[in-house]
Amino acid sequence: MSTQELVSFVVPIYNEEDNVVLLYNELAEVSEQAKLNSEFVFVDDGSSDLTVSRLREACVNDPRVKIVVLRRNFGQTAAMSAGFDHATGEIVVTMDGDLQNDPHEAPKMIEKLKEGYDIVAGWRKDRQDKVLSRIIPSKIANSIISKATKVELHDYGCSLKVFRAEVVKNINLYGEMHRFIPAVAAQLGVKICEMPVNHRARQFGVSKYGISRTFRVILDLLTVKFLLGFSTRPLHLFGGLGIASGLLGSLLLVYLAFERLVLSIPLSNRPILMLGVMLVLIGLQFICSGLIAEVLVRTYHESQGKKIYFVRSIIQSSNKNPNDSSSALPDNKNRESDKLYRVI
Ligand code: UDP
Ligand code: MG
């Protein structure tokens, strides 16, 4: 099994002292049962209880375990991002550290991924959480997110997801955005599938979130929607709004000028004049914002070497000159399956 791809389990944990050891044991058991070649990356997100010491004690002799201890509480998304940075596997599995996600679901999700997907997202079909504060807001949020991003998933919020490592390594996360990885990744052209998974009620510790998270998620959706649609062409959005507003204002002003100059109707008591002027000014503002955004977008992409495209593979003939056999690849690279084409 040593040639098997390495699976990195990435688990953000914040004050889960009664859950971590049970989780570690469960993960180790599942890994052994499914004969996975795995590593466990636990990210402690500034816990103030015994989470780290208990975890360290439990897995002190296990070389598969990496505990990344953050300096303070940065939030689940940041913790996950730290986990991705420290994961070395070709496959990355994310899950919560509160035992609500069932690790036993991971092997069949990994199998699914190997069928040719880049992301396999868990769907808590039978979710064990409070109906009013969790299940209903989440249903509404999921349908809004699905419609807005055009990536239809039943359960964006389920942390149990399996990724090809290159997907998570190519996405920068901010705010509460870990849940939007499938939507952002879809833009990069990845293949996503959703799988119903078992979900368990929280037994130990308390949830770290209240209802306010729903609003933050919706605000993040706005950012994601804007970045997905217009991050390389902001003027198309701002300019469109600007032209619409400017045109409407100009029409109003032309009409008012006609009334004033031709029909001699006085303008002094016409509030609509104000509206016309404002629409023109707002239109100009929008266009200027769009131009500034265009400049920012260039800095954003070019300063980080970000590409505006994402390559899946490059297919190229291994023989540059068909008559020249000496230009073939060296023996070790010239495998049977690569005779004609080489995938870089
Ligand atoms: N978590 C974290 N940092 C935070 C809040 C939460 O790492 O600031 C972790 C938490 O320990 C758990 C996971 O994120 O492993 C999900 O949190 P929680 O169970 O509170 O969320 P819920 O299931 O209620 O949505
Ligand atoms: Mg939970």
Tell me the per-residue pLDDT of 221-279, one tens digit each, with 9 for 90 and over: 999 999 888 988 999 999 999 999 999 999 999 999 999 999 999 998 899 999 999 99
Q: Can you give the pLDDT at residue 313?
A: 67
pLDDT < 70: residue spans in the chain = 1-3, 312-313, 319-344
Q: Does any domain span residue 250?
A: yes
Q: Can you give the pLDDT at residue 339?
A: 33
Q: Can you give the pLDDT at residue 307?
A: 75
Q: Does any domain span residue 77?
A: yes
**3-state SS, residue 72:** coil
Q: Can you give the pLDDT at residue 12?
A: 97
Centroid of ligand 1 to alpha carbon of 224 (angstroms): 22
Q: Are residue 246 and residue 223 in the same domain, yes or no?
A: no
Contact, 247 vs 276, CB < 8 A? no
Q: Can you give the pLDDT at residue 304?
A: 79
Q: Are residue 191 and residue 103 in the same domain, yes or no?
A: yes
For 262, other C-beta atoms within 10 Å of its C-beta total: 8
Contact, 318 vs 340, CB < 8 A? yes
Which residue range is the domain that position 115 belongs to?
3-228
Of 211, 228, 245, the domain-final residue: 228
Q: Are residue 121 and residue 266 in the same domain, yes or no?
A: no
Two tokens, residue 39: 């590593």
Q: Are residue 56 and residue 179 in the same domain, yes or no?
A: yes
Q: Are residue 221 and residue 238 in the same domain, yes or no?
A: no
Q: Can you give the pLDDT at residue 156?
A: 95
- Ligand 1 atom closest to the CA of 15, numbered from 1: 11
**3-state SS, residue 69:** strand
pLDDT in tens, 277-301: 999 999 999 999 999 999 999 998 8
Q: Say if ligand 1 is within 6 A of residue 133 CB.
A: no
Q: Can you give the pLDDT at residue 329?
A: 44
Q: Can you give the pLDDT at residue 67?
A: 96
Q: Are residue 221 and residue 248 in the same domain, yes or no?
A: no
Q: Does any domain span residue 154?
A: yes
Of 228, 256, 277, the domain-final residue: 228
State the residue for tokens 């709004």.
241
**3-state SS, residue 162:** strand
Number of independent structural domains in the chain: 2
Q: Are residue 111 and residue 84 in the same domain, yes or no?
A: yes
Nearest CA, atom 24, ligand 1: 207
Q: Can you give the pLDDT at residue 163?
A: 97
